[in-house]
Amino acid sequence: MVDIHTHVLPDYDDGPPNVDSTREMLQMAVRSGTTELVATPHILNNGDYRREKEIRQKFQLVKKLIEEQGYDLKLYLGSEVYLYPDTTLDHSISTLNNNKKYALVEFSLRTIPEFVPQKIFNWILDGYSIIIAHPERNLLLEKNPFYLFRFAQMGALLQLNSGSLTGVFGRKVKELSIRMIDHNLVHFIASDGHGVEGRSISMLPAYEIVEKRWGIEKARLLFEVNPRKAILGQEIKKAEPIPIEEKSVFARFGQWIKRLRSAD
């Protein structure tokens, strides 16, 4: 499997606190079948790009750890860029493997800031392939899944977290994740691994779910074929996105009754 979203650099962000924890993560990744991974440290604002030297040093250190352990694991560098109106993608760590094409971006988990769709669309017009990290964890998108279709329709690529499918973020996120795959609204599954528990770097349980429910072709596409193309900067084939309908009138009526009752 090929993992395009991980936090493996030691003592950099909210990933592993030290080299030993990084070593544990690498071991887990290899044992669970990951053969290529991209280190994507958080870039929380343009100022963080000034830490590029530090990021590169830590990246080299992780590379050395992999060599020392003799792991069959290819490591690449990228970042997870948090969107602000002035965020730029013109640094060598802004895109995966510095391919000047695929950028992994995130924004608030609570809402969709007003500038975000336009900013993403402008980048797409500029020739970038914009990968939105874990949209299934966004509260607004969870309530209005139709917007997921809108993002896909305008050319954005959607990356699901493996933990979302295994229930790490709760039942609702899991259900939405399943609907997203059913509606061709997932282009990549990645670990967003921060450690060996919780947001774990192992993607194997999620891979098994996808293989069982949608078949091996789909599993390979989302865990291997598309992610590898993203690293290499190659175009991926996209299946036609299908809109997720809003909940039925009956379901909405039920929610309304429930709210009235809880207001008593």
Question: Shortest approach of Fe ion to residue 249 CB, angstroms?
Answer: 37
Residue 158 or 244: the one with the smaller Cβ distance to Fe ion is 158
Give the CB-nearest residue to Fe ion.
Answer: 192
- What distance in Å separates the CA atoms of residue 160 and residue 186, rounded to the nearest whole number? 6
Shorter beta-carbon distance to Fe ion: residue 80 or 224: 80
Q: Does 36 engage in binding with Fe ion (CB under 5 A)?
A: no
The upper half-sphere exposure of residue 120, i.e. CA atoms within 13 Å in the direction of its Cβ, equals: 28
Give me 128's structure tokens. 């970038």
Find out whether 8 and 39 touch, Cβ atoms under 8 Å. yes
Stretch that binds Fe ion, among 84-92, 184-192, 229-237, 256-264 (CB under 5 A): 184-192
Measuring CA to CA, how many Å separate 56 from each of 39, 74, 91, 113, 234? Answer: 10, 16, 13, 31, 24
Q: Check: CB of residue 161 under 8 Å from CB of residue 4.
A: no
Give 51's DSSP letter: G
Closest contact distance (angstroms) between CB of 134 and Fe ion is: 7
Closest approach, Cβ 216 to Fe ion, in A, equals: 27
d(CA 258, CA 245): 21
Sole binder of Fe ion in the list 192, 210, 230, 231 (CB under 5 A): 192
Note whether 80 binds Fe ion by CB under 5 A. Answer: yes
Q: How far apart are CA 264 and CA 256, in angstroms?
A: 13
User: Please, which residue, 14 or 72, has the CB nearer to Fe ion?
Assistant: 14
Is 3 a binding residue for Fe ion by CB under 5 A? The answer is: no
Nearer of residues 168 and 244 to Fe ion, judged by Cβ: 168
Q: Which stretch binds Fe ion (CB under 5 A): 75-83, 124-132, 176-184, 214-222?
A: 75-83
Q: Which residues bind Fe ion (CB under 5 A)?
A: 80, 192
